Amino acid sequence: VSPVRVWSFNEGVGDSTTEGVSGEDAAIEGHRSYWKRGVSGTSLAFDGYSTVIRETAATAPSITDGVTIEGWVALGAYPWNWTPLLQQGHEESYYLGIGPYGHVGLTVKVGDRVEKLESTKRLERKRWYHVAGTYDAASGSMRVFIDGEPIGERTIAGESLAQSKAPVQIGQAKI
């Protein structure tokens, strides 16, 4: 399956980033954009408080049968609370984030239930990791990966993902 959205953060300068599938530019909201060296090219440093990139719900892809969210992360510090890498709404559809002790978490809303899965392994600070979370509605399988290794899995009663009217966000939690 081809990706529906891809952000590479390879601009290296400026206050916007281009999404690779749609070609749309998105503003980087927050105090200022801070670019660093990444795994390949540049990366955008998120401050955990105000840095956020949003795609409106009207232009966001409709995802119902399942989702895979993945990204490269390097933590400067552990967050105070759960911090999203990417989410649509607060417990309204899907979420992949990092917890206060460095665990990776996946949350999906199916029907009227919010289902959560947390990794058994934690991320160390100041090291790059590839993290991913998947949900498949047909099988009800939820899985979390760190560097390609499955480190959390559970099966739930499979249903379609709930549809949210909230924007898709990278960074800053929707409170």
pLDDT greater than 90 at residue 49: no
**Tokens matching residue 25:** 């530019």
Tell me the sheet residues that pair with 103: 122
Find tokens 């999203």 and name the residue. 84
The answer to whether 22 touches 35, Cβ cutoff 8 Å, is no
Whole-number CA gyration radius for the chain:
15
- Burial (CB < 10 A; 0-12, 13-18, 19+), residue 58, is exposed
Q: Mean pLDDT lowest for which of 43-47, 83-87, 165-169, 171-175?
A: 171-175
Q: Which of 7, 39, 48 is nearest to 25 (CA)?
A: 7
Query: Would you state the pLDDT for residue 174?
Result: 55
Q: pLDDT tens-digit profile of 66-125?
A: 999 999 999 999 998 999 999 999 999 999 999 999 999 999 999 999 999 999 999 999
Query: Would you state the pLDDT for residue 168?
Result: 94
Query: Would you state the pLDDT for residue 104?
Result: 98
Cα torsion 16, 19, 25, 29: sign: negative
pLDDT greater than 80 at residue 63: yes
pLDDT greater than 90 at residue 55: yes
- pTM (predicted TM-score): 0.94
> In this structure, what DSSP letter does residue 88 have?
E
Find tokens 């959205």 and name the residue. 5
| DSSP β-ladder status, 129-136 and 83-88 | unpaired
Query: Would you state the pLDDT for residue 47?
Result: 85
The answer to whether 126 touches 76, Cβ cutoff 8 Å, is yes
Q: pLDDT tens-digit profile of 131-161?
A: 999 999 999 999 999 999 999 999 999 899 9
The answer to whether 2 touches 13, Cβ cutoff 8 Å, is no
